[in-house]
Each structure stands twice: as C-alpha cells, then as structure tokens.
Copies of this chain bind each other. A is one copy, B any other.
Amino acid sequence: MHVRLAKVVGTTVSTAKDPALTGLTLLLCVPCNAAGEPEAGDRFVAADTVGAGVGEVVLVASGSAARVPERTRSAPIDSTVIAIVDSVQTDGKTTYSKVG
C-alpha cells in the first residue's frame, strides 16, 4: 500500500454498480517500473480523477487516500489515479519521459 507507478491499459464498464460510481471512469492498470514498462504484478482497477488515458504512465494512490480527491470522496473506491507522470528520474538519469 504505497503510491505506485502504473500504466493504464484499459477500462471496465458496469451497469449494475454502487450508485456513487456513476460518472467515474474506472481504468484497468498494471504496475510499471521506472522506465514505464509493465512489470509482473496483478492488474487492478483505479478511478480516474485527472483525465488519464490508455497508454499513459500514472501515479495511483490506494486505501483511504483514494477517496481524498473531491471526485471520489463518496465512492467505494480504494485506488485512484492522482497524477499523470511526465517523467521519472532514477539515479540521476531520466528513465521515463512522456514525450520521448
């Protein structure tokens, strides 16, 4: 339970759901490394609050942190995309960059 780097790989659609989920986009995510490459690890679903799309590397908060943003405050959600990652610097090098 930490903020994690993840890559958005898809979406899920549900008709029968908790009413507080209405209007929330639920993204399918896979953990990724400092280069933005998918890693071994379970795929999970996270609510979007920053307009993230498939293919983007994002930061995902979990637990009660996932309900801190206004959009998810009353939703039964324990993972939320809190940022789209522009770049990652590791050991002094840029290991991931969105634009290049």
B16 lies within 8 A of A46 (CB)? no
* B residues near A14, Cβ cutoff 8 Å: 59, 83-86
* B residues near A85, Cβ cutoff 8 Å: 12-14
Question: This chain: how many copies in the complex?
Answer: 5
Q: Which residue of B10, B12, B13, B77 contacts A61 across the interface (Cβ within 8 Å)? A: B77
Q: Say yes or no for A100: interface residue by CB 8 A criterion.
A: no
Chain B nearest Cβ from A10, distance in angstroms: 4
* B residues near A63, Cβ cutoff 8 Å: 1, 62-64, 78
Total residues of chain A contacting the partner, CB 8 A = 65
Q: Which residue of B12, B16, B61, B88 contacts A87 across the interface (Cβ within 8 Å)? A: B12
Which positions in A face B, CB cutoff 8 Å?
Answer: 1-5, 9-18, 20-21, 26, 28, 31, 33-34, 39, 41-47, 49-52, 54, 59-69, 74-80, 82-92, 95
